[in-house]
Chain A
């Protein structure tokens, strides 16, 4: 009787424990795992994913609240260069792409093709109009592109300092909105980031 009672208790506990364990649909060697792409990354104090994401969110939020963009009904904007003036390699196009994606998703602003995409735009129009492959009535006409009301441009700079085992990096990302017709800078904002690392074990 004692043995039956113990076996019952053990089975109950095992069933309760196994209730939480499920088989995952994975095939893995055990060395690779997916992480959170939005996690705060502090592996080194060089420019990282968290810096890119924070800058993009901060700048997109600020731009969407800026007076020149809210004054017009869905203004047309283009992205010019963001210059990298730091001592490290930073893909500034990736930062502006993220800012642009966030602003576009709001539906409050439209974007004209930027200089890097202009070649593709011209080639597409040329193909539709000059290759005789398309119906005249269905091809998109030359000369109907719209000029952007504003352009976004900026720069990223850094100050790096070392003292013994301590390394301090300060980033400043500056963005401006310029009226293309008047050349007037209508809005500007900055995002600052400080990262400090210490190699000392104690």
Chain B
């Protein structure tokens, strides 16, 4: 086949594949199932997630680990879900947190109401792309 005839086909395929994600779905109960990353996070890793009901309210603690020698800026917020998967309460504000080099930072949050039985941690770190050592 002439190479120039392949180009439009390649463009069309790339446009179509742009909407499709090939990542396998995360395992239920894993950290990845509870975390929504809005950008590629090379240096910041969520290493631990704990959730417990205290005084009728779901309390979540997440541990963020910075594996880089530079400080990293992280933006995060929690999404709270009821037993049927509907969101509980209004959207939380994005919160900035500075994670120092090689620091383990803990984030804690309390659900807005007793109806919240599940959560998602939404994270974004704008300057956190690069090749892992």
Contact = CB atoms under 8 A, between A and B. Distances in A.
A53 B113 contact: no
B82 to A, nearest CB: 13
B20 interface: no
A17 B11 CA distance: 10
B21 interface: no
A38 B113 CA distance: 20
B57 interface: yes
Interface in B20-73: 54-57, 59
B15 interface: yes
Nearest to B55: A70
Contact of A108 (B11, B56, B91): B56
7 contacts: A13-B11, A16-B16, A40-B75, A49-B93, A50-B96, A106-B113, A107-B113
Interface of A: 9, 12-13, 16-17, 36, 38-40, 49-50, 53-54, 57, 60-62, 64-65, 70, 102, 105-108
Interface of B: 8, 11-12, 15-16, 54-57, 59, 75, 77, 89, 91-96, 109-110, 112-114
